[in-house]
Amino acid sequence: VYRGTDNRVHELWWSPGSGGWQRGALDAVAQGIPAAGDPTAYVVGGEQRVVFRGTDGLLHELCWSAPRGWFIGDL
């Protein structure tokens, strides 16, 4: 994950069936909140988590788990 020049949180993932590296923005999951700082990512209990500081001054957590997909975590 990384913060783009557009202040959106982006992700990269490998998908051999889809032609290799893929890219997407997680702003839809983050309800459109731009990032004011660089995100950090980690895995716990089989869930991928991304934490970032938004331009609203709050910390936001995005989580991914199968089959649910991306959702907003509860800090």
pTM of the predicted structure, to 2 decimals = 0.86
Distance of CA 38 to the CA centre of its chain: 11
pLDDT tens for each residue of 16-65: 998 899 999 998 888 889 999 999 999 999 999 999 999 999 999 999 99
Q: List the structure tokens of 41.
A: 């990512």
Alpha-carbon span 51 to 10, nearest angstrom: 12
Range 9-18 average pLDDT:
92
pLDDT at position 75 is 80
Distance of CA 73 to the CA centre of its chain: 11
Strand partners, 51: 40, 61
pLDDT at position 42 is 96
Distance of CA 67 to the CA centre of its chain: 16
Range 58-75 average pLDDT:
91
